[in-house]
Structure 1
């Protein structure tokens, strides 16, 4: 597919630093533990942007970014992936970070300290709104909406999204953060959402349904007519419910996973990139499943494949030829 026909992916969310510390096990309250390995990388919405960019989509970050070492790290990582930014660096504060404690069983425990990215002002949203283009694919995350200051401003940004653009709402981890989003903030987003993406846990919490297919249908009912919902179920693939259709099972790909960090982000980024390049929702979902399967076989936070790698992984699948 011609890259020039691809829609632009705009992340109206946070790109922060991830400080990942591998530990034998979580300590008891008041205890201590020695980490066995530590790495600091760009994280948050960066993973989504990378997944989209590597599949040929133009990708831009529309959130705030600060100064100091974490801000410099984020900007260097964004520039290295040829990802653009819509807002200048803030000189009055540093970029925030997440400490991810990863135990020997692979379970992750997160603690986030937000920085400049959590201090959006009306002028920032006005600047982003003025730079949105017809046809953009705009992504909002529940994390951003849950912040007391950012939430109302990001919700208000939906009014500036062009009518022919696609708004994707990714409701990561609705409890405890996203469960606290005021209805006045969430309602305008859901009313404008064209695609809602959630992992199986999020979907279960939001709908009360254990079955991903039933949950996808229930999520779709919360959206405006013409919108679609997708529930991700890790190695079991995903259940997209395209606008006006019942959810279907798009199978996953059997692989030996070594690192699932950022898998959900990779799925969203790949899905949006392929959707923006003219693929139908089911094909885009299958490509996203494949991108995630390949990414979790690699260690690191931003391990999504490029088009050539994805085509090789999908050898024999009709989608492989279309990626060339």
Structure 2
């Protein structure tokens, strides 16, 4: 299998706001405010490059930000294939962290909502062994149509396809059955426990894997501090624990997991080694603030 991976997903600027106390409606509250690059697709691409994978990242950003983002991704070892949008700014995610550590999110996907077929030319698949698509790309009509066309071309070429569902909130909004119809058959699914339960329609892990395995050749379920499981239509085939570490920030942990797993897969490693590498990536990601490797 070619070691090159094509990632399709969102580019976001993450703005993290940590107020010193409860918000005061109509007045001020001191806060720590930081911003850093983010977006599920962007995170996956950067983690893959950090793992030594040759990775292309296709996305859409505001035209005024395009050169900046291209330089950023090249500096992180990613080959950017970014379209510029003259109408919409780049996406922004605001995270509000209360004093107890609970997080709330405000999302403006911006230019990501205009991803089009012209941004995802079939030639992007040349020399690619696997296409990794963020589920966010299916939740708006334009990007969904563009991604579906790219995936049809990938299937025709025999290129492996991996899907990350990305958001239980959006899955609940559109319905898991509709989402699965939009995605179609794929070789890999990387889901967390909540996503797997929603998509598979079962609370039992073995039943989730058996159900999802009918559509996806291999299903990986990320279980947080409990590690991860791998299976197919026969149910669970492999389950590994995660080491106990102090979690500082879970942002991007699932992206780091997928990247670690896929990097090992591209190297021809066994599924057990891939699962171990995925867990190692996720564990590393939760030990610092931010969704991309430091």
TM-score, reference length from structure 1 = 0.80
Q: 1:74 to 1:33 in 2, by over 3 A?
A: farther
Match status 1:131 vs 2:124: yes
Q: Describe how 1:177-196 pairs up with structure 2 within 5 A.
A: 177=171, 179-180=173-174, 186-187=180-181, 189-191=183-185, 193-196=186-189
Match status 1:42 vs 2:24: no
Q: 1:62 aligns with which of 58, 62, 68?
A: 58
In structure 1, distance between residues paired with 2:238 and 2:164: 19
The one-character-per-residue Cα deviations of 1:23-79 (angstroms, maximum 9, x if unpaired) are 356659x6767353111111012211111111110111111122335x555334312
Q: 1:140 aligns with which of 133, 143, 167?
A: 133
In structure 2, distance between residues paired with 1:99 and 1:147: 20
| Match in the other structure for 2:198 | 205
Q: 2:239 aligns with which of 244, 249, 261?
A: 249
Q: 1:182 to 1:256 in 2, by over 3 A?
A: closer
The size of the alignment, in residue pairs, is 292
Gaps of at least 5 residues in structure 1 are 305-324
In structure 2, distance between residues paired with 1:75 and 1:190: 31
Is the Cα–Cα contact under 8 Å of residues 176 and 199 in structure 2 kept in the other structure? Answer: no
Match status 1:237 vs 2:227: yes
| Match in the other structure for 1:217 | 210
Deviation of the 1:92 alpha carbon: 4.4
Deviation of the 1:84 alpha carbon: 0.8
| Match in the other structure for 2:8 | 12
In structure 2, distance between residues paired with 1:155 and 1:269: 22
Q: 1:287 to 1:147 in 2, by over 3 A?
A: same
More displaced 10-residue stretch of structure 1: 229-238 or 111-120:
111-120
Q: 1:33 to 1:240 in 2, by over 3 A?
A: farther
Q: 1:158 to 1:185 in 2, by over 3 A?
A: farther
In structure 1, distance between residues paired with 2:21 and 2:200: 33
In structure 2, distance between residues paired with 1:35 and 1:199: 35
The one-character-per-residue Cα deviations of 1:192-212 (angstroms, maximum 9, x if unpaired) are x10011101111222233343
Deviation of the 1:186 alpha carbon: 4.1
| Match in the other structure for 1:151 | 144
In structure 1, distance between residues paired with 2:101 and 2:64: 30
CA RMSD of aligned residues (A): 2.6
Q: Secondary structure at the match of 1:298?
A: coil
Q: 1:114 aligns with which of 109, 113, 128?
A: 109
Is the Cα–Cα contact under 8 Å of residues 209 and 232 in structure 2 kept in the other structure? Answer: no
Q: 1:25 to 1:168 in 2, by over 3 A?
A: farther
The one-character-per-residue Cα deviations of 1:221-243 (angstroms, maximum 9, x if unpaired) are 3x15xx11111011111111157
Match status 1:170 vs 2:170: no
Q: Secondary structure at the match of 1:57?
A: coil
Deviation of the 1:147 alpha carbon: 1.2
In structure 1, distance between residues paired with 2:173 and 2:202: 16
| Match in the other structure for 2:73 | 78
| Match in the other structure for 1:98 | 93
Q: Secondary structure at the match of 2:242?
A: coil
Is the Cα–Cα contact under 8 Å of residues 211 and 233 in structure 2 kept in the other structure? Answer: no
Is the Cα–Cα contact under 8 Å of residues 8 and 136 in structure 1 kept in the other structure? Answer: yes
